[in-house]
Chain A
């Protein structure tokens, strides 16, 4: 695939930390500067989370999963079910279809949420381990379609399961305090989680584990021949992204305040494909690519929603086609092809171009 030899410098240099600190400051100040847009910004950080967790599989490892949305949805359901189930009977709560309003104290609410989020991370991790050991031995397109079917399969299961509300969905308990406080802590929850996810994932990539993932991306057969247990690495990588996706789903479920099995939790046609699109747009397997992709995509999406209301999904479908067909290497990837030294990569010139090489005469 790549014709040039790339030597990676350590990714965290002073410049990176300055940019990260800048983002952290902007991210913490933004909700106070523009309080009306807090909801928007929360969605943005959820998008960043989705794109970085997808990048673990799709970008670093070259496994194009359309099923990551499963862990997102599992996180949503687990968190909401625990939040409700701790204080009342889940079955009667869902059977009432939103008829029962759960009134909790602040302490109860946050206890439920905390336990729920931990359980969501755990559930995402375990689900990824279980499913991954099943289907991660698959290569290429079989994995892509298998994971696509998996997402819809889980959505259909969830919309038939009475305990979690079946097709009519599940409502997480209402926040007992003021609305503005709710949106603010949800914003900071998503923001902090995005930051932690980013740092943990980059740390993972900088270890031997990350090298193994890249080796699997570049040539899986050779990686296996070199003694890597590729299926094990793939499964663990998926499980790591499963943890963060699960917690992210738990927060997102509380943010949306309504969990629909097909449209929010296991929504292959929205979040499932958006996360792929954001990473492709930004640049697969790059440091900043998923962030840039998420930012641009979020802007696109909001513009579509504001100016093309009713046609927004058509426009998004068109956007998928256009980006994939005309811009497959993404923004960061595009710059990387042209200015590799910006990325701390040394490019070895191709051997026949060097002056020291004797010019070979074509045999006639």
Chain B
């Protein structure tokens, strides 16, 4: 139970950080952390299919596509 509470707090913190960070690269990494913890939650809630999709797409490919987009534009939010 305490682990789940810690994971929830970590996920909330990462989500808030993703919204507030001005460095977009750091924000993308925070969003990927949210996806990763969410994928773990899907697994704990006995939805392994969704967990796999979330880990592969949310934490993997989406992060890569965001990072490529940041490379092509700018790293810092004005």
Real binding pair: no
